[in-house]
A and B are shown apart, each in its own frame.
Chain A
Amino acid sequence: MQRQLKASLFYLSSEIRYTAIIFWAIILSILAFSLVLDIAFFKNSDGQMMFNFSFPLYIFSAIVAQQTVKGSIPYLIKMGSTRKNIFASFSIYFFVISLVNAFIANTVHSLIVNFYPNSQSVVTLGSVSNTKSGESLSFNHLAFFLEDTWMTRMVVDTTIMFFLMAFAFVLGLFFYRFGLLGGFSFIGIIVLFFIIGMAQGWLLDFFVYVFSDITLLVFIQLFFVGLIIYFASYVLLRRLTIQG
């Protein structure tokens, strides 16, 4: 068991390395480009630049988790991995990806805010803004509702990413096992759930309730919801076969 776990974690880490390097190269070069632009044009002017790490990261994680079903699981099975081992190793894999991505993003964020005097960490969403004038490069982050520290941003990003990955993984499994029809039916049910929730009002109430008094605990809870969704994936994984 332990040997297989090590093997599949090695395999997954080798596989993600290439994709992750490309992703981070793009994100960091955009950031570098923004810095250059800021120094050249916006410094000491009224212009404002916004930079957001979180959303590209969330999207990236979700795509990775969804693609990994078709892209990695068949190879692991081919090398003799058990489904249980896949289940165990992917939980670690998703958590570590969330953690590492959050770590890189928020460390870079903190470094620039601390060492580049013309930047600031903005806790803002949409038009709600508390930007100070004169500081033209801003990072915004969902930690908006909370105290904006490296640690809170870490918790927020890690938990959201893990939740999204667990969800996208299950979605990927639906597509893998039941084809397009099965996958879209699954999406359909989720959408239906939201529509009914909105129509009857309880979904909105729920969000208002959550966001009106938001604390870090909400994100911890989100993480556990992600964990429950992840556990559900085992039902789909248990009898998984290689197709095609």
Chain B
Amino acid sequence: MKLDESKPIYLQVKQYIENLIINESLKANERVPSTNEFAKFYQINPATAAKGVNELVDEGIIYKRRGVGMFVAEHARDYLLKERKEDFYERYILPLKKEAEKLGMTEEELINLMKR
């Protein structure tokens, strides 16, 4: 993943970890790269990286073990999947419908495209 300089960096770090968990690159109880590793890898401010990671800690998706590091929580993936599904309508369907409307496509046409 490459960072988009124009978007909030901490959010991108957060999303990056979420994606790793969703596609199971990081499984439950596996160690998450440290703030410093992120900072160095992406050449970003460690405090910014920490902000992204800490939000995940606050949401209970990863947990801290003092002196050892950060780990993926037991049900993190399920939780993230649920969250993403909830977002799905707003993030993908709504813009799709809007564009379709602009182009004058019917509902039927849309469903057919979906099935292709």
Chain A in direct contact with chain B (Cβ < 8 angstroms): no
Q: Give chain B's interface residues, CB within 8 Å of chain A.
A: none
